[in-house]
Amino acid sequence: MDDIRIKMLTDEDYHADILIEGLPGVGQVGKLVAEHMIEEFGAEKIAEITSIFFPPQVLIDDNGVARLSCNEVYLVNTDGNSIAFLVGDVQSASGEGHYLLTDAYLDIAEELGVKRIYTLGGYGTGHLQEETQVFGAVSNISLREPAEDAGVVFSKDEPGGGIIGASGLLLSLGAERGIEGVCLMGETSGYIVDPKSAHAVLGVLNALTGLDIDDTKLEERAVEMEGIVEKIRELENAKAEEELSYIG
């Protein structure tokens, strides 16, 4: 059994200029954006990746059918753009695996002829916030200005601890292969699945790529989640007042 197994679902000779990564992470922000795009574009699944570095776990679908924890590559050709997506269930369960899996993802990207990667994720702030900034990092300084023009915030302090996992490694290991990379991180509390943050990231991605992806569904989910967040805020305020009255 190979440590990493890539299963191509067809023999067709695919090509993609762009790879968009949205694997699981803080607030599931990247995953929400990438899956939304796959749905909007009706992108086609072309590859499945399984690995002994993934958690040793099968997932059960709504029909009760088990399947291995699995990451997937989708592809779409739209308005002259050929875009691949890297999405899925999991990230590596081990440090070494993160490097080796990213290397495998880049093998696929290189095979597809990818010239640029967008990695999408959340940036956990630890608190609920009104506004959602989208922080960025780039594999090359020349990519910064266009990103800023699209609304990406570059901050000396954020993200302080660097970027952990595939979103970060794809940028730097990709650069070694001559593939440009931009990482977009939507602010998110880190406590909830965050479609509002995903909506903000999609907005920036639309501006940055010239794609014009409909964001209605993400917006609806964001509004819905905002209702839940509002309730959490009320509970927190009530609790804070209670504590104050206790102290007072």
CB of 64 to its own copies, least distance (A): 4
Q: In whole angstroms, what is the distance from residue 217 CA to residue 123 CA?
A: 22
Site string for its own copies, 188-227 (x = CB under 8 A): ----------------------------------------
**8 forms part of the interface with its own copies (CB under 8 A):** no
Closer to its own copies at the Cβ: 128 or 151? 151
Residues forming a β-bridge with 79: none
- Among residues 6, 76, 93, 128, which is the contact residue for its own copies, using CB under 8 A? 93
Sole window of 24-32, 87-95, 216-224, 239-247 interacting with its own copies (rule: CB under 8 A): 87-95
Closer to its own copies at the Cβ: 63 or 216? 63
CB of 138 to its own copies, least distance (A): 6
Q: In whole angstroms, what is the distance from residue 201 CA to residue 32 CA?
A: 10
CB of 170 to its own copies, least distance (A): 9
**9 forms part of the interface with its own copies (CB under 8 A):** no
In angstroms, what is the C-alpha Rg of the chain? Answer: 19
Closer to its own copies at the Cβ: 130 or 156? 156
Identify the helix (H) or strand (E) that includes residue 85.
strand 81-88
CA distances from 181 to 115, 145, 177, 226, 230 (A): 9, 13, 11, 31, 35
Closer to its own copies at the Cβ: 67 or 233? 67
Neighbours of 194 (CB within 10 A): 28
Residues forming a β-bridge with 3: none
Identify the helix (H) or strand (E) that includes residue 219.
helix 216-247
Q: Which of 96, 95, 47 is nearest to 72 (CA)?
A: 47
Interface residue list for its own copies (CB under 8 A):
1, 3, 52-60, 62-69, 92-96, 98-100, 103, 136-141, 144, 154, 156, 159, 161-165, 168-169, 171-173, 181, 183
